[in-house]
Amino acid sequence: MTSATAADYGWIRSSSSPFAYGLQIGYTLTLVQGVSPAELLRVVGAKPRGVCVGSNALIEQHAALLYESDWPESFLAGAFTVPGEEGDWTLALDFGGDLGTRPRFLEALSAGTRVVSHSSNGGKPMHFFHWYENGELRTTFEWPAHRTGSTPDELNAVMREVGLNPTGDEAPDVDRKAAVFALAERLTGVQVTEDLLAEAEYRTGEVPEEPAEEWESITIDITDAHGDRTYVQVERDQLTRDET
């Protein structure tokens, strides 16, 4: 296991970093052990878009895809092979998509192996981390102190080492996103650097958006400034009756 910490990933905040764009509009970065880039794109149902060199070219292709439609029904993902713990891994990167957050993809990709992903949805304060092993979600969190999965506490010691606090808030000088990059490196042995992303040869694919799921109810759960909680679950047929 590497000794990476949040301090090793301060470069993600640089204005010249490819992650300046990803943190602005959203990204997912997914690492899969022993699965080729072509196989990863096949599993997620991506339509091949060829090869591009460098993160700037990947960003340009992403922007071009957005401009092709007023309401895009897909997003661009790029993948390449990178050395890591116990052999080769595939690093998949997308901007504004959700490849690394879809459970059915991550379960399939992690069958017999390991998958680690982290993401941001851009301007909104939602940042997720997922660790899958052999098709099973082991640990996931948005806030480090609120973890779920089959083994939510297994990474606690490593989280503390990289700068995350599994029991509360981090120290004010710790960059939580940089610490998540370090946590991913600890689990994969893959050191992500600015030069790696800037110079990689990406096999690209157009990943279709998932169809909207049918819903049966909505939950309203609000706690006001005084600590009073309002919790209401409204069934779909109740709303239908109200409309008629």
| CA terminus-to-terminus distance, the chain | 61
What is the bridge-based pairing of β-strands 136-141 and 87-95? unpaired
pLDDT at 158: 97
Rounded percentage of the chain residues whose pLDDT exceeds 90: 64
Exposed / middle / buried, residue 139 (Cβ in 10 Å: 0-12, 13-18, 19+): buried
Name the strands in the sheet holding 147-148, side by side, starting at the edge strand that comes first in the sequence.
Answer: 47-53, 201-208, 74-84, 87-95, 27-33, 114-120, 127-133, 136-141, 147-148
Q: What is the pLDDT of residues 156-202, one digit of tens each?
A: 999 999 999 999 887 788 899 999 999 999 999 999 999 999 999 99
- Cβ atoms of 117 and 106 closer than 8 Å: yes
What percentage of the chain carries pLDDT values higher than 70? 83
pLDDT of residue 60: 92
In the 8-state DSSP scheme, what is residue 11?
Answer: G
**Which of 101, 98, 82 lies closest to 90 in space, CA to CA?**
82
Look at the chain and count its residues.
244
Whole-structure pTM value: 0.84
CA atoms within 13 A on the CB side of 129: 27
Domains in the chain: boundaries: 6-214
Which two structure tokens, joined as six digits, stand for 95?
Answer: 């901007």
The residue that leads in pLDDT, 65 or 129, is 129
Tell me which of 9 and 97 has the higher pLDDT. 9
Instruction: Please give the distance of CA 22 from its chain centroid, rounded to a whole number.
Output: 11
